[in-house]
C-alpha cells in the first residue's frame, strides 16, 4: 500500500485501519433502530399520558388533595359556688363552606350550589354570598353558615355531596344551659366572632369562624373557657368528601371550668322575687312597672350570691339554629331590653336609699351631729326663687334626731343637711359618695357595667349651657335625698349597704370563685386560679356615726314609725334597711313622664350581718309596696324561713 502525504504511516497490526467493516455497520444499525424505538415508545407514552389519560389523572389528583382543618376545643363548663352545673356542652353539627373549593367553581355552578343549600337550610342567598366574601381573605379556613342542623338534613348533605361541592358537615360542641333562663345575664352567650372583634384579637390566636363569649361570664372569662383549638389535615376527594382519617398535629384541649360565687337556688329566688315585686306594683295601680333587679351579697367579702335582672331571656336562643324572629323579639323596644343586666348596668335615681350617704358624709365632715334635733316639716322653701320642696309625708312636723329621721325617711330633714353642704366649696357629699364607690364601676367582673353619676358644680358647667350651668341650692337639696341628676346601679347600692353592715369597709363585688381543671373519674377538680375576694378597704369611718346609721336602719324596719316595719318586723331574723321612692323620667309605649322607682336596701341579721339585699322595681311606686316585699323573699330563701310562717305586709312609704 502506497503512503500518502500527511497521513500516519500504516500499522502492520491493522489490515485496513480506516475502513468500516460490514460487521460494524450492522451493529451500528441495530443500535440506531433500538434507540429510535425507545424514543418512539417514550414519546407515545408521554402523548398518551397527556392526551388520552390526562383527565383521569387530573381527577385522581383532585381526589387526593390534602386539606388542613382546625378542630374547635370544647368550652369549659360554668358552675355555681356549690359545683352545680349551669352551662355545659352538647354535641352538635356545623355546616361550613370551603371558600377555596367554591371559588374554583364557575359562577353559574356556585349559584346553583347556593340555591340548593339555601333551600335545604332555610338560608337566604345573600347570607351565603356574604359568608363566601368573608372567607376570601383566608380561603383555606372554613366559614360556618349553620349550626345545630337536623339529623335528616345532615344525612341528605352527606348522601348528595356531589350536589354540594365546597360544603362540609362537621361535628362540634354547642352550649347547653342546664337551668334554662336562670342567671341569663350573668352567664351571657356564645356566637361567631365578628370581623371587628377579630381585628383586635388576631394576635391572641383567634381566627375567622371561632366562637367566642359575647356577654356575661362567657365573654369576661372567654380566655379560660375557650380552650385550645386542634389542628390537623385530611385527604379529600374532588367533592370535598373526607377520604382518610384525620391526622392531628395538635389535638384540641378543652377549656377550663369557671366556678361562680352565685348560689343557684338563691338566684332563682331572687329572679322570682323581682317578678313578685312587679306583680305587687301592678296590684297597687302602678301599671308601668315593667322590670327590676335584685343584688344579694355577702357584706363581709363582697361575694355576689344572686344577681337578678328582669325582664330576662333564655340564652339557648343563641345556640344552634338561631331564629331571626327570636332575635327581633329580643331587640323589640316593647320587650324592655331583656339582655341588659340591670343589676350592674341599669341606672336609676336612688331616692331615699341614698339618705345614709348624705348623713354619713355630713357626720364625717362635722356639720351634722346624730343627736342634734332638726325640724321635720311638711315643706321647706329653698333658694332666691323660693322654690318649695315637700316632705313625702305631709303630716309630719316634729324635731328629729338622725335615727328617727332615717326611720321616718324625712325629706325636709335631709334637705337641711344638704344645704349645709351647699355652703361649703369642697362638695363634701359628692366627695364622700365617690369614696363609697358611687360614680364609677364597681369592678364586679361582667359588663357592660354602668358608672352612674354623682353630679357636681363642675359637671353641671361642662354639661349645660346658659343659666342651667349654675349649681343652685336646689341641686344640693335634690342630691341630699338621692334625686335630681344622681344615678346609681343596684350593685353600687348593695356595696354601700355592705359598708354600713360590716362597720365601714368597702368591699369589691366578685362573681367568680375560681378557674378549675374539670374533675375526672376518681380525681377531684384542680384549682388553676383562685379568685379570692380582695380585702375590703377600711375607709376610716367614725364607728359612732356608723352605729347611729345602723340603729336608724333597724328602726326603719321595726319602729312603729318605720317605713318598712309592716314588711320586716315579724321576720324571725332581725333585718335592717331603708326604703326609697325615686322619681325618674321614662319613655314608655304611649307614655312619657315621671314614674316612681321602688327601692329597698338592707342587711341581716342585724348585729351579725350575713347578707345584704338591694332591690329596685322599675316604675314600681312606693318602696314599701314593691321593692321591700321582693327583698324579703330573698331573705326567706337565704335563712330557710317558710313563707306564711310569720306576719308580713306592705305599706305606701317613701
Cα R_g (the chain), whole angstroms = 39
Contacts of 469 (CB under 8 A, 6+ apart): 460, 461, 463
Check residues 343 and 205 and name the one with the higher pLDDT: 343
The grid cell for 587 is 319613655
Q: What is the mean pLDDT of the chain?
A: 89
For 608, counting Cβ atoms within 10 Å of its Cβ (0-12 exposed, 13-18 middle, 19+ buried), the class is exposed
The pLDDT of residue 15: 54
E-only strand ranges, 365-426: 374-376, 379-382, 387-390, 398-400
Nearest to 87 by CA among 262, 236, 279: 262
CA geometry: angle 559, 564, 566, nearest 5 deg: 80
The pLDDT of residue 26: 76
Taking residues 231-248, what's their average pLDDT?
67
> 117-142 pLDDT, tens per residue?
999 988 888 888 888 888 777 776 77
Reported as a pLDDT band with limits 50, 70 and 90, residue 52 is low
* Polymer length in residues for the chain: 654
Strands 505-506 and 211-213: unpaired
Nearest to 356 by CA among 401, 314, 403: 403
Residue 7, strand partner residues: none
Taking residues 71-76, what's their average pLDDT?
88
Query: 304 — alpha (psi -120 to 50), left (phi > 0) or beta?
Result: beta
> 498-548 pLDDT, tens per residue?
999 999 999 999 999 999 998 777 678 899 999 999 999 999 999 999 999
The grid cell for 70 is 382546625
The pLDDT of residue 229: 83
For 128, counting Cβ atoms within 10 Å of its Cβ (0-12 exposed, 13-18 middle, 19+ buried), the class is buried
> 582-637 pLDDT, tens per residue?
999 999 988 999 999 999 999 999 999 999 999 999 999 999 999 999 999 999 99
Is the pLDDT score of 566 beyond 60? yes
The distance of Cα 256 from the centroid of its chain, to the nearest Å, equals 17
Reported as a pLDDT band with limits 50, 70 and 90, residue 1 is very low
Reported as a pLDDT band with limits 50, 70 and 90, residue 321 is low
The pLDDT of residue 2: 47
Nearest to 606 by CA among 571, 640, 631, 579: 571
- Return the minimum-mean-pLDDT range out of 51-60, 278-287, 395-404, 630-639: 51-60
The grid cell for 502 is 360590716
The pLDDT of residue 37: 72
> 186-206 pLDDT, tens per residue?
999 998 888 888 888 878 888
Amino acid at each position: 500500500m502506497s503512503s500518502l502525504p500527511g497521513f500516519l504511516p500504516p500499522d502492520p497490526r491493522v489490515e485496513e485501519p480506516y475502513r468500516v467493516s460490514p460487521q460494524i455497520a450492522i451493529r451500528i444499525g441495530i443500535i440506531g433502530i433500538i434507540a429510535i424505538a425507545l424514543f418512539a415508545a417514550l414519546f407515545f407514552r408521554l402523548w398518551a399520558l397527556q392526551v388520552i389519560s390526562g383527565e383521569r389523572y387530573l381527577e385522581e389528583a383532585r381526589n387526593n388533595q390534602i386539606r388542613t382543618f382546625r378542630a374547635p376545643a370544647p368550652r369549659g363548663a360554668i358552675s355555681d359556688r356549690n359545683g352545680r352545673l349551669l352551662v355545659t356542652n352538647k354535641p352538635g353539627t356545623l355546616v361550613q363552606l370551603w371558600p377555596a373549593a367554591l371559588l374554583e367553581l364557575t359562577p353559574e355552578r356556585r349559584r346553583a350550589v347556593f340555591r340548593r343549600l339555601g333551600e335545604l337550610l332555610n338560608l337566604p342567598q345573600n347570607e351565603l354570598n356574604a359568608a363566601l366574601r368573608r372567607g376570601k381573605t383566608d380561603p383555606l379556613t372554613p366559614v360556618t353558615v349553620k349550626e345545630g342542623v337536623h339529623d335528616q338534613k345532615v344525612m341528605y348533605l352527606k348522601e348528595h355531596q356531589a350536589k354540594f361541592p365546597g360544603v362540609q358537615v362537621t361535628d362540634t360542641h354547642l352550649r347547653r344551659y342546664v337551668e334554662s333562663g336562670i342567671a341569663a345575664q350573668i352567664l351571657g352567650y356564645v356566637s361567631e366572632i365578628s370581623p371587628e372583634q377579630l381585628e383586635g384579637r388576631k394576635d391572641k390566636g383567634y381566627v375567622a369562624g371561632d366562637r367566642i363569649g359575647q356577654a356575661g361570664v362567657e365573654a369576661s372569662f372567654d380566655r379560660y373557657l375557650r380552650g385550645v383549638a386542634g389542628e390537623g389535615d385530611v385527604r379529600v376527594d374532588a367533592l370535598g368528601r373526607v377520604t382518610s382519617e384525620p391526622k392531628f398535629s395538635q389535638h384540641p384541649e378543652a377549656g377550663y371550668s369557671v366556678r361562680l360565687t352565685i348560689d343557684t337556688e338563691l338566684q332563682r329566688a331572687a329572679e322570682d322575687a323581682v317578678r313578685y315585686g312587679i306583680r305587687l306594683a301592678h296590684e297597687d295601680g302602678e301599671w308601668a312597672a315593667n322590670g327590676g333587679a335584685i343584688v344579694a351579697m355577702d357584706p363581709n367579702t363582697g361575694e355576689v350570691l344572686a344577681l337578678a335582672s328582669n325582664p330576662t331571656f333564655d340564652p339557648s336562643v343563641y345556640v344552634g339554629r338561631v331564629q331571626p324572629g327570636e332575635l327581633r323579639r329580643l331587640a323589640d323596644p316593647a320587650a324592655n331590653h331583656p339582655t341588659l343586666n340591670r343589676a350592674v348596668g341599669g341606672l336609676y335615681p336612688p331616692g331615699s336609699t341614698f339618705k345614709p350617704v348624705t348623713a354619713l358624709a355630713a357626720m364625717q365632715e362635722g356639720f351634722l351631729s346624730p343627736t342634734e334635733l332638726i325640724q321635720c316639716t311638711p315643706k321647706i322653701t329653698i333658694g332666691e326663687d323660693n322654690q318649695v320642696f315637700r316632705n313625702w309625708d305631709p303630716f309630719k312636723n316634729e324635731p328629729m334626731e338622725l335615727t328617727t329621721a332615717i326611720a321616718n325617711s324625712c325629706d325636709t330633714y335631709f334637705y337641711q343637711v344638704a344645704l349645709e353642704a351647699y355652703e361649703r366649696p369642697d362638695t363634701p357629699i359628692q366627695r364622700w359618695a365617690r369614696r363609697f364607690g358611687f360614680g364609677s364601676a364597681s369592678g364586679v367582673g361582667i359588663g357592660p357595667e354602668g358608672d352612674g353619676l354623682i353630679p357636681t358644680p363642675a359637671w353641671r358647667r361642662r354639661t349645660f349651657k346658659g343659666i342651667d350651668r349654675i349649681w343652685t341650692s336646689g341641686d344640693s337639696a335634690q342630691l341630699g335625698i338621692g334625686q335630681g341628676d344622681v344615678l346609681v346601679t343596684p350593685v353600687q347600692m348593695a356595696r354601700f349597704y355592705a359598708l354600713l353592715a360590716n362597720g365601714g369597709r368597702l368591699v369589691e363585688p366578685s362573681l367568680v370563685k375560681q378557674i378549675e381543671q374539670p374533675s375526672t373519674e376518681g380525681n377531684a377538680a384542680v384549682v388553676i386560679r383562685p379568685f379570692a375576694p380582695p380585702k375590703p378597704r377600711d375607709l376610716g369611718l367614725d364607728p359612732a356615726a356608723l352605729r347611729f346609721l345602723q340603729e336608724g336602719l333597724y328602726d326603719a324596719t321595726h319602729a312603729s314609725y318605720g317605713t318598712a316595719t309592716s314588711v320586716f318586723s315579724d321576720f324571725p331574723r332581725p333585718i335592717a334597711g331603708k326604703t326609697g321612692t325615686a322619681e325618674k323620667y321614662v319613655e314608655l309605649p304611649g307614655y312619657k313622664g315621671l314614674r316612681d322607682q321602688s327601692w329597698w336596701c338592707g342587711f341581716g341579721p342585724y348585729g351579725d350581718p350575713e347578707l345584704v339585699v338591694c332591690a329596685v322595681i322599675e316604675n314600681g311606686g312606693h318602696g314599701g309596696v314593691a321593692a321591700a316585699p321582693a327583698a324579703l323573699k330573698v331573705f326567706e330563701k337565704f335563712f330557710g324561713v317558710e313563707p306564711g310562717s310569720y306576719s308580713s305586709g306592705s305599706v305606701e312609704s317613701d
